[in-house]
Structure 1
Amino acid sequence: MSEETPVEETFISHLIELRDRLVKASIGIAIVCAALMFWPGPAAIYDIIAAPMLASLPAGSKMIATGVISPFLVPMKVTLLIAFILALPWVLYQLWAFIAPGLYAHEKRLIAPLVISSSVLFAAGVAFCYFFVFGRVFHFISDFSPSSIAVTPDIENYLDFVMSMCLAFGATFEVPVVVVVLVRMGIVSVAKLKEVRAYVIVGAFVIAAIVTPPDVVSQFSLAIPMWLLYELGLLVAPVFVKATQAPEEPV
């Protein structure tokens, strides 16, 4: 049997390290999920998620479950989603710990702030969607619903809607991070990004029209923050690039 070459040994050691990091990330999510199971519990968590929808319905209205196991399965899915969001900093830290040994000191100064800012921005996007967007969207839809229609949302459809909207807003709030990475890697300059500002604004409204429901409130609620976060990325990128330059790199 031939001995493994150094390249093969390095590749296998990286795979083992990746496996260990994935296991640790999964354990972190599982611990948070188990804690949420005990308090406040899946039923209470779903009640919190459903609060914006119920607030827009007539007093005493409830949501319905058309599936046999939906009353059990849907709250469990919601709990797992919340656990992933809460454990996201730990998951991103495991990603950073996996790639950190191969980075230079100035590159590590780039990764750590990106991990923190990505977690904060994603959580901010989800919170913005829940506290600001949902209430306005549901009231807007309720006001336009004919009086002959009894609005009784299905819990599974509602969960799909909430997950897609939260993921869309969470991803949208990562725009400053994308801008900073593009500038720091030298793919595009800040001056060039400023030149294409008008196209970015149009693109923001196009993306909002695709990923949000077909109403003006939700589309503007996604497009305008996307544009403002793009502007924030343009302001932060030069400062971030200067702070993470290698000693030999020109300023």
Structure 2
Amino acid sequence: MGKCVRNIKSLSLQANSAKTVKTDTLTSHTKDSAKLPVLYAHYTDGQLALEALRHHLGETTGLEVLEAGCGSASHLKLSHCRVTGIDISPYQLERNSQLAERICADLHTFENEQWNHAFDLIVCWDVIEHLERPKIVLEKFFKWVKPTGKVILAYPNPQIWKGVVTKYSPYFVHQLFYRVASGTPFSASKRDQGPFRTVFADDIKLRPLLQLAERHGFKPEFFVSYESYQNKFVKRWLPHAVVDGLNRFFLGELKSTLDVSATDFIIIFSADTLK
């Protein structure tokens, strides 16, 4: 794997004591060892990370947006945009009031030539970790987005204790922990209610993801992580040092790049204009 270089700098955001900020050169480890510099920040709360994303995106009025795996609601709450939603569940689509167009289909198999270079923004939020073959879907995103557009991926880090336990433990364990940690009084077995089965295919690990994006002429322009409520919940019962130690172990080489509590990512990919 390529070497990661870390320096401490500040984001072009208002000062916020709830974040630690790093500038990292993340190496995709291709044959020419091309480096993909990206400003990286870690937040202690997902809402702060979401605010940073909104700040980075700026004005979104008039954009053609695709919500891939849109579910019943949008995290970004994009206003004055035309939002197309695609989801495998007709029930989730019916409940999503933000959509101008609803497509009930499987992202793995759906094809539409009219979508090529059609979207200013493609948002895939907490979806990619559930896909059996995310590489196929990601390649479609890079094809569907306009040359000047952006692809936003938000998903849990598969290379940290939460990701490893979720991937390798029985599904009912995932369901039970989700209910207890979130305090959500619903049954995860009900139709269209999470948590959904999580695959964590190798393609969405950070370095393979960067490699894939680079092969298609894309690079990360924005990269933040944050600490999930599940990680905070476990810290109520186990010493912080134990939880952090487990995370360092599973992060492996990435421990020199990512914050030890980087349980979830938000990444924006855009076309590499230097290519």
Query: Quick check: which has more Rg, 1 or 2?
Result: 1
Report the TM-score range of the alignment, normalised by the length of the smaller protein.
Answer: under 0.3
**Which structure shows the bigger proportion of residues in helix conformation?**
1
Q: TM-score, normalised by structure 1?
A: 0.27
Q: TM-score, normalised by structure 2?
A: 0.25
